[in-house]
Chains A and B, each alone.
Chain A
Amino acid sequence: MNEDSASRVAQRILARGRLADPDLHHHVAEEVQRAIEAARRPLDRELSARRDYARRLARETRLFRRAFAALDAAALLHDLSGRLLDANQEACSLIGLSRDKLRGRRLQELVPDLARDAGFAAHLADGRAYRAVHRLRAADGAIRELALRSRRLDGRDNAALTLLLERSQQDITVERIRALNRLKGELLGPAEPKQRLQRVVAGILGIFDAEFVRIWITATGECFDAARPDTEFARRRGAFRRWDYCLRKGGIGDDAEAPPAVDLKRTGCYRIGLVARGHEPKFVTNAIHDDLPMSFHSWPATLASFAGYRLLSAEGRVIGVLALFSRHPVAPDSDAVLEDLAVTTAQVIERGRSEMALARLADRPQALERVLNYSPAVALLWRPEPGWPVEYVSDSVRRFGYDAEDFHAGRLGLAAVVHAEDRADLADALAVALADPACQTLSREYRILTGDGGYRWVDDRTWIGRDERGAVTHCQGLLVDITDRRRAEAGELLVTRVSTYFANLEPDDIDAGVDWALKLLGDFLHADRCTVFWLLSEGGGEASLVTTHEWCGHGIIPQRRRQPLLPAADLPWLMEILRRFENVSVDDATALPRRANSERDWLRGREARAAAFVPLVQTRRLVGFVACEALRRGHDWNAEDLRLVRTVAGLTVSGLARKRAAQLVRESERKYRSLFDTSGDGIAFLDLTGRFELTNAALQGMLGYASEELRGRSFLDVTAAPYRDDDRLRLAAMVAGRRSEDQHEKEYLRRDGAAVPVSVRAWLVRDEAGRPQRLMALVRDISERRQAEAALRASEARHRLLFNTMVDGFALSETVSGSWLESRLLEVNPTFAALLETPVAEFAGRTLCEALPACFRQDAPTPAADDGSLRFECHWGERNRYFAVSAYRPQAGQYATVLSDITEQRRLEGQLRRAQRLEAIGTLAGGIAHDFNNILYALLGYADLVMDDLAPDSTAVRNMEQIIKAGNRASELVKQILAFSKRGEQDQQPVRLQPLVEETLGLLAGRRPAGVSLRREIDPGCGPVLAVPAQIQQVVMNLCTNALRAMAETGGTLTVGLREVHGQAARGAVREPRAARYLRLTVTDTGVGMDAAVRERIFEPYFSTRRAGEGTGLGLATVHGIVERYGGSITVASEPGAGARFDVYLPRHEEPAAG
């Protein structure tokens, strides 16, 4: 039984439980057990062996793991496709990802360059060792330059271990510098310059791992560049053509502002432009950008450097720029090397150019000779012997009018053709040159005489040939005709002189300048006279030419005085050409065409044989011309000369224009200056911070400061405190451009502290570019105006008050027709409206005719007086009021109407008239009384005597009695009259009225008719009056008698009242209440009453409505007299049928204070 089956059996058995036989069971179990153990032993041994192995393995793995983990360098374990199997801690921290995240990724993802690197692929394929420097992109985006060392693991593991070694900056730099130096060596190598340059840019690209490198030659515009294959630069090379354009133009404008630093491309162009123009030797920008310009969006780097180095020629001119754009910073060491490289590159470029030039040069004698013979230069070979004999001269010597043969044959030597004045100098120079053994060349300029007697200037470059001993064997010269050049130079010099002179000329000196320019022209052109003619056109009329400037050569007659002015129409042919802005050259005046007859005559008159005319043009208009005349001979005016004249003419025109402009400016300045100085208002110029720049006298006076004290001072300093804040805001708004003008009133503080109210108008002044330049302010002192305003307001207020509170009504109306009634109301015062019992508003715009009650219209006199005034009185029946109207014309077309209520006046006048009437009657009566008494006495006396003689009871006696009765009545009447008119001051005493009234009423008791009841309203507390008691009694008696009579037929009530009233209450009744208090006695009846006409005259003596026999008719008159005498008054109120009420006012007697 093998162990397996044994165990199986054992298991089965044990599982089933016991055998029947316990011993068997036990035995079998033992056997089985032994079998199992025997079988197990080798298994265990193997197991433990395996366990040991596993443990060993685990330990090794652990060790290895630890070793792996503890490696100082970042280590990555990957398979042969690059997929990462493991990464150690260093690698994780370097890459920035955890192990788990790393596992499964490919190494080529982390180091993109590996994907492209063939070496790495080879390494993976065949296990070759791999070493390289690459960049790794960490998870945080950081780029690290690392040295990679990769090695395949032995065995069947199909894995490789790659170490990532960080390189120190120093290592990198050192390596880089080494590489750059190698590159420099290449630059100086043997290959063609172009090839070399291309190699250099490629090399720099590689060394710096740059994105883009370019060498750009400014002179030719050629570019040599290299770009990384997968970058924008490579893809869109064309996009940088514009960059080239900018660079070629030397950057984005010399004076343009530098673009913002974030725009690296533009900044770069700008900076490179600066370098290309020589403003900077180089620039290096190691900048950090968060957002790169669009062109570089594919560039993942966060660090960018942009460097440019100038390429200088040997003479120090900038001939190009070396530009570099890299992800890596340019360290100072690299920078130095790059700079060095730039220098070398420049040399290469230069040498290359000259080498190329040289290579092109044909060096063939025949070609040379051909060149020589036809060139303007004259080649000659001569010996430094007396006369300077010429061995060989090129044919081109005929340009000087000589035959080469003349020289070859020895008939002429060099000395013979040199201008006498220059010969000596040339000889001296030659001697010096020959004497110096080191001297090889001689360069001189001198004149060569021409065959026709003139001369030409030449530039002589001579090479001195010497033998071995240094002795001179021959001279080899090259003569170049520089006459034209010299002339042109002289002409240019002239122009320069003139333009410089004119540029610096003060406007006042321009005329002198023009004269001087004409002189220079004359000398240069060998002209005899130069004149400036100015074209004047009088407002659309005929134009005239006026000679403004003239220069004459020595001995030449000036024409200016002789003919200062001539009509332009006199020179039609000339003017026509000049108006086309063309020059006119007349070589011979006699040969002028027929249509130029007047010109010919004119020139003859001026003795000119030849003349040149050059137009003067200003803003595309012909303003005149310059004439250069030759008097003695004809003149060949060549185009160059005329061009020169034209240039100078142009300068004079602009100079004259400038002079005119300066004059205008001066005039306007003067005008403005005088305005400024004499202005009554203050004028100030302020800078943009509000400080005074310039102030005029008016403002200085206003503020009480001198000019220097204000300059530089802020206007806020002299502003009163309450206005400062507003002014600050205003200033800010104006400077910021939100407001261009401002006007307001404020107060300034004078030097002495007083406040000056002013009205200020300020505005912003801009320069031609529209930028705020300064502020200008106009200041007006408004104190007077303020005062005037205040006075006006006060006066207006006073007048209005007067108008409104006038006691009389006042109306202002305007009239067109002159009629007062038709005049239209402009304004009425409150009293006017009140008097007419109409609201003020209803008067507006109405005519007086419409506004006034009818009575006014009726009573108004027409026509009015001559001066339009009128006065009248009228009675307003409905209101029973009397008015006085007075109207006059304050000014033409207006009426002023004064309306007075004279009702009261009338009433008082009526009263006065009545009183006067009564007084008059009284006086008369008093006068008559005396005589009457006498008559009556006689009458009655005789009557008594007669009576004595008559028999009693006789008819005669009865008749006599009647006579006597009549006489007595007459006597009574006289007494009444006297009583009425008495002036005598009988004994007055303080009398209390109450008992008197009672007494009188008692007396009347008998006389009261039936049907009349009596009522008393007597205030017992009334004070006394100062009067004669009998007279008071008479008053009461008369009034009561009157009342009773009135009620005789109708019956009714007689009411007698007495009370004390205040003085003012007596007003209206008493004319001039003088007492403080009055007693008022009232007698009222309910009789027939009176109408107005009766009321009016009731106090008149004998005005009576009673029938004869009922009283004297003097009763009320007497009462009136008595009352008036005591300084009181009596009034009556009555209406027909409504009874009557008489009020008697008597002044209360004031007892003197007890003391």
Chain B
Amino acid sequence: MASARDIKRRIKSVKSTQQITKAMKMVSASKLRKSQATVQAIRPFAHKIEDVILSVGSSESSHPFLMDRDKINKVCYLVIGSDRGLCGGFNSNLHRFLDHALAAETHDYDIAVIGRKVKDHCQRMGYPVSFNYTCIGDNPGFYQAQELARIMRTAFERGDYDEIYIVYSEFKSAMSQTPRIKRLLPVQAPEKTAASSKLIDTDYIFEPDREQILDTILPQYVDIMVYSSLQEAKASEHGARMTTMNSATDNASDMINKLTLSLNRARQAAITTEISEIVGGAAALS
């Protein structure tokens, strides 16, 4: 049995680990709140843009961002993960999802990577990484998303890629995040809803004309899609980290309880031995 001193030392180290996990949990919780607010702030903007794209008549347009290309030579996957670990299954779920998607991909592909963990994974698996961007921060600004979207748009326009997909973690709740894939380019025309069809019926004056409006709106729509995926991925990351750190803190408590128990037992054993020694000594004297 370990000596009482060893156990005491052990308890101390578990306690300090618990302090760290508790602090990380708290930090993630506050970051999560911030991210969640941003995710919600984007939604009305995104919906509005979708409505407008519909009402401009995206179905009749032959804008290059809307047209499926006849021949697909190369596709690109933009994978959004995290820079840091300690967030439970967040990254490994995403990696497994990506592996599956790539295994099913019949075309030639490239991968654009956000987040150090994803980059490491891709290098390990030997995927062709065309571009990587790490240290995006905990609350990426819109300008960062714009920059990213611009890179993707130009690559698409140049014909480097014929299709671009985003792979990210969808934020459902702090407990659950599911990896998802969606097509960034060519833009999939948003679905009609009751609210948007009312909008379409309005007889707008289009200035200067529909095509030029699409020219401005579609790139913005791409920006928004990148931005909202980034934010969702970040919210998922914070959520995953919060949950993981919460269970780590609980585990540390359990461990401390167990260790305290064995510490008490060890102390008790030491006392018992001592008493029996004294009694034995006294008996020998008489």
Is the A/B pair a real complex?
no
- Contact surface of B with A, Cβ cutoff 8 Å: none
- Contact surface of A with B, Cβ cutoff 8 Å: none
